[in-house]
Structure 1
Amino acid sequence: MKSKKLNFIAAAVISTLCVPVMAADVTIYGRAHLSLDSLDDGVDSGTNVSSNSSRIGFKASTKLENNLEAFMQIEQNVRFDEGSGNWASRDSFVGLRGDFGTVRIGQFDTPLKVVRGKVDMFGDRLGDIRNLTRTSTSGATNANIGNVFDERYKNGVAYTSPKFSNFTVDVHYTPHNGTGATNDNVLESWSLSGAYEANGFYAAIAYETFEGANGLDPNAIRVGLYYDLTSEFRLAGMFQTASDVPGGDRDVFGVGASYKLGDITLRSQVYVADENDLDESGATMFVIGADYKLGKDVTTYVAYGVTSNDENAAFRVSAGGRDTALAAVPGEDTTGLSLGVMYNF
């Protein structure tokens, strides 16, 4: 009799503890994305294993009165290649959505970064457009040059409008794109975009500005678009002009295409970074590849890319969304051959 009573009490306690969880719609999701790469910096070469923006995340949402919904997300990078990771290092936020639109607060991608992700044929792979669009110099860090673009704002507050005739507006602000408290908001930043998407067509324009240090206030305008000529054939392109960045103003532009043949998708893209204030400081990146879909959630792929650097340029082909990247040697071409697998869960 005593045992039955204890079992009843335990069941009641467990049931009570489960109520808050059951009240919310909770989802666990993630991606395991790894590749085997042969990378060459123009002087030496080596074979590497890379975990490429692999992640695990948790989402929850709760319906409220007046057609409102509260939601949250915690997402972190997972290094499948080296057995490590950082908690909440990726898009992590809490928000509220309703007829007025969506409001979020936390750390997450800026509207400028989102535009690149929509048109990049090799996002998180060898040949990612970020190899050219990120603005940095040898030995420089975000702390002393300002935003390098294609990043996540820390301490961000964002508003996304409802969709009006397939058009949306995003406004993303951070009073301090750094860690810890501030009394001067020296790293205040803004990112804004307007986008249209319908019937296989996407077009967007974004502007981002970052109050940096050392007298630099980097800013960029980015235009991206894609168009599905058929259900199998997509064309995409992007243009970015960046000002007040290390080394001087620089434009990056290019095009890409993909074509589906059943479970196989062929893809390619070419992008150019023109010269800044330094002569012979431009580069051209070309990448070609093919995907093979093993199932709904599993894709394998092969990709080959080369970034041809001018005499005073040192752009990579293996950076951007990848946890293993080979540094470039100024004036040398960087190349890579990648065999990868992505498992979404």
Structure 2
Amino acid sequence: MRVPFLLATAALASAQASADVTVYGKANVSLQHADEAGNREIELQSNSSRIGLMGQESLSDSVAILYRFEYETSVDDGDKDGQTLTQRNIYLGLQTAGGTLMGGVFDSPLKTAAAGVDLFNDLEGDIRNIFAGENRPKNIVQYVTPKSLGPVTAKVAYITKEADGIDGVSASAAYKLDDLYLAVAMDQDVEDNADNTDTYRLVGAYTLGAVQLGGAYEKYEREIGNGDGYFASLKWSLTDQWILKTQYGQSDIKVDGRESFSLGGDYIFSKTAKAFAYYTTNQDDAVRDDDYLGVGLELKF
């Protein structure tokens, strides 16, 4: 389908004429050896590569309209779910001294609460393998507290399912001061086709010199049974260019006995470019035993 591609291209071209619009993106590609339940292959992966534009229109000294249009594209083969581009975070919002109100399609407060702690986000070691709640709901309206609250940021979102189920709620409260980050978040009936579900998440991170320690605990409640899980991560900046990182998680939320372990490293070329390598193993008590070994390159602009 070429319509989204043409619309996005026209929007990006016209954005160059406005000083208040930022065109941005990320190309992330890895070549990996995948061993999935005994099936082995070499594959080129596009890891949530994207392009978008964002900006604001000031209405007064304290009021502005905010917007973002972000699309994912597959750098490996150009096909993302049968299209050239698919929608990611897209919203329109109003920012005032009392906070920001926004509506559209974007990551829920529960998902964003752990964004800086998941060190293998968008790769095979992403916490979505063991946790519920990694959602980007449609028809979401969200309020975010103003920066005047200092180290505390709260988000409350309402997700209307319209005629397709029970409406959902997602909320989070985060504390960020210097090297300490703490957050608590919850979802209620947010996932598609999953009414009467509750998700609770605790997140923490602390940076001590060159080392960042992080972790999260999640409890998932539903009519057919409950589950919980945790993960811990460590990032060690050996130099300004070399970073080592590892992550381990375990949960019964998606599958009984699910475990995920990842080990990797980054080589930083600049603020926008890096090379990386990783090894990930995902296992559970059923039949899955998957291993991935890969190298990749990322460029942000």
In structure 2, what residue type is equivalent to 1:190?
V
Listed as ranges, the matches of 1:127-276 within 5 Å are: 127-134=125-132, 149-163=133-147, 164-176=149-161, 182=162, 184=163, 186-210=165-189, 216-230=195-209, 232-244=210-222, 248-262=225-239, 263-274=241-252
Q: 1:236 aligns to what SS in structure 2?
A: strand
Match of 2:271 in 1: 296
Name the structure, 1 or 2, with higher relative contact order (CA <8 Å, separation 6+): 1
| 2:292 corresponding residue in structure 1 | 336
Cα 1:88–1:26, aligned 2, differ >3 Å: closer, same or farther?
Answer: farther
- In structure 1, the partner of 2:53 is 58
> How many residues are paired up?
284
Per the normalisation by structure 2, the TM-score is 0.88
* Structure 1 unaligned spans of 5+: 1-18, 135-148, 177-181, 313-329
Structure 2: give runs of 5+ residues left out of the alignment: 1-13
Alpha-carbon separation, structure 1, partners of 2:16 and 2:32 = 42
CA separation of 1:294/1:132 partners in 2, compared to 1, >3 Å: closer, same or farther?
A: same
Aligned to 2:11: none
2:281 alignment counterpart: 306
Which residue does the alignment assign to 1:8? none
- For 1:105, the equivalent position in structure 2 comes to 103
Summarize the Cα distance change of 1:169–1:338 in structure 2 as closer, same or farther, 3 Å threshold: same
* Root mean square deviation of aligned Cα: 2.4
Q: 1:266/1:186 Cα in 2 relative to 1: closer, same or farther (>3 Å)?
A: same
Q: Counterpart in 2 of 1:141?
A: none
The structure with the largest alpha-carbon Rg is: 1
> Structure 1 residues 215 and 60 mapped into 2: Cα distance closer, same or farther (>3 Å)?
closer
> How far, CA to CA, are the matches of 1:210 and 1:114 in structure 2?
17
3-state SS in 2 of match to 1:126: coil
The amino acid that maps onto 2:158 is Y
Residue of structure 2 aligned with 1:84, choices 79, 83, 96 = 79
For 2:174 and 2:193, how far apart are their aligned partners in 1?
33
Shift of 1:308: 2.6
CA deviation after TM superposition for structure 1 residue 66, in Å: 4.5
Could you tell me how far apart the structure 1 residues matched to 2:251 and 2:275 are?
Answer: 29
Change (3 A) 1:212 1:305: closer
More strand by share: 2
Distance in 1 (CA, whole Å) between partners of 2:121 and 2:128 is 8
Conservation of the 8 A alpha-carbon contact between 1:202 and 1:225 = yes
